[in-house]
Amino acid sequence: MAFEYCRQCLHQASYIKKFDGQPEQTVTLKKKIRLSAHFYYDLIFAISQLKTDASFHFLALNYELMVYKANKGASYPEKI
């Protein structure tokens, strides 16, 4: 339930993007995060298996990937 709540709250959220001396840019996440049923169920299962504080990092990275996939131009430049 918490995963779904957070996923919905990211729609229309804003953050400040700043990197490599570029001017700050406010980015609004205009598109909802949409997932396939397969990904959704597998992710919920994976989350249920986490037993440590590492779950925060796992979830943060997953939300970041989902937001960037749904909102082109929201991500930082890929450098690695």
Q: Name the 3-class secondary structure at 64.
A: helix
Q: Where are the domains of the chain?
A: 2-70
78: confidence class by pLDDT, cuts 50, 70, 90: confident
Give percent of the chain above pLDDT 70: 99
pTM of full prediction above 0.85: no
Of 35, 20, 39, 27, the closest CA to residue 72 belongs to 27
The reported pLDDT for the residue numbered 21 is: 84
